[in-house]
Amino acid sequence: MRQSIKSAIASPPLVLTLDAGGTNFVFSAVKNGEVVGETLTLPSNGDELDACLDQITGGLQELHNRTGREATAISIGFPGPADYKLGIIGECNNLPAFRGDGVALGPMLEHHFDLPVFIRNDADLFAYGEALAGALPETNKALEESGSTLRYKNLLGITLGTGLGAGMVTNGKLHEGDNSAAAEIWALRSKLHRDSPVEADVSIRALRRVYAEIARMPVEEAPEPEMLAAIAKHEAKGHNAAARESYRRFGEALGDAIANVLTLFDGLVVLGGGISAAHELFMPAVMQELNAQYQPREGTRAPRTVIKAFNLQDEIDRRSLLAHKTRDIAVPQSNKTITYDPMKRTGIAISKLGTGRAVAIGAYEVAINEMNARSAKVEK
């Protein structure tokens, strides 16, 4: 964990965190940058507002009681659209209970608990947690141990589940945008259906829809992703070809979306969320997209991105990313040489922290930063 978290204040506070997914809410208590005790998971009840709000307050209250009411803040990861600074949630696609003029979730919780409440995009917090204590420091450590001079400072975190979310971290700073709307990857145009956002092809509902189409069954009867993965791997009965194709199309659309982002954002990529557990089924299509080539109508073939992508779950790919392949070239009009590595590269990792833990760590850091900033203003 970064030193800034441990030394931000004399006595590290305990912060209650919530990772609000479309299916489940995951509550954690975090202290000194680490999750303490057991997490609490509850269904989101995302179709009915009062039940959903009761679940949020009830889960936080249970965790607050468990930890002896020691918490000094609440920090939440919530899907957008939202005005995160004000704590107002807009019409959230994956939690349809939040419809209308907006729900003042932050102010409601501050009134209920008499604690400061900080809300950020859930995928942003996932990316932040992975940048602080997950894929980014882990990859940089491996690069250092291999003798490579390459170090990553930027990270793109993507969550795969009920919907498609993303967050970006640059030089240790969470990139939120001027309207709390940065990294809204879900709204990119889908390669597979040009009149639809990519989330329509990279989500739980997309997997079930493709399976149902191929297996010729009503979509409401299609298995959930975990069962689809088991069918695809011949571990359960079902339409194997349909299951495999549903994950292949998922990977193709996801790979194209990542490639689009990497043309503007140069950094490491980490995938999380429930569907990431089936990465072996969709990663081949992701990597094929990332390392594909354009065939222009005129001219020669060109790479899909200027950055070579490596699958960090594949040992050969991992070794290739870590390899220190430098060359010495002459400095013109001198007797000197200079050493450099000509390959631009990135790695696509699967979260080892786990999505809930990464969100909790990111949420904790946000709370610490905000509380320190408020204290500094008071001192002035």
Can you give the CATH number for the domain in which 115 is found?
A: 3.30.420.40
DSSP secondary-structure letter at 171?
T
Q: Where are the beta strands (DSSP E) in 224-357?
A: 268-272, 293-294, 302-303, 308-311, 327-330, 337-340, 345-350
The predicted-structure confidence for 196-243, as pLDDT tens digits, reads as follows 999 999 999 999 999 999 999 999 999 999 999 999 999 999 999 999
188 and 253 belong to one structural domain: yes
Which residues, listed in sequence order, are joined to residue 156 by a DSSP beta bridge?
168, 269
Give a yes or no: residue 287 inside a domain.
yes
Grade residue 380 by pLDDT with cuts at 50, 70 and 90: low
Give a yes or no: residue 19 inside a domain.
yes
The predicted-structure confidence for 11-28, as pLDDT tens digits, reads as follows 789 999 999 988 889 999
Q: How far apart are the first and last CA of the chain?
A: 29
Quick one: pLDDT at residue 51?
94
Give a yes or no: residue 32 inside a domain.
yes
Q: Which domain holds residue 306?
A: 135-350
Is 245:209 a contact under the CB 8 Å cutoff? Answer: no
Q: Does the reported pTM lie above 0.75?
A: yes
- Residues 322 and 318: their CA atoms lie apart, in Å, by 6
DSSP secondary-structure letter at 79?
-
Position with higher pLDDT, 324 vs 191 = 191
**Does the N-terminal peptide bond of residue 12 adopt cis geometry, omega within 30 degrees of 0?**
no
For the ranges 52-56, 65-69, 370-374, the lowest mean pLDDT is seen at 370-374
Residue 366 has pLDDT above 80, yes or no: yes
Give a yes or no: residue 130 inside a domain.
no
Quick one: pLDDT at residue 6?
41
Give a yes or no: residue 127 inside a domain.
no
342 and 251 belong to one structural domain: yes
State how beta strands 24-31 and 14-20 pair: antiparallel
**Alpha-carbon distance values, 23 to 162, 163, 193, 286, 351 (Å):** 7, 10, 25, 25, 19
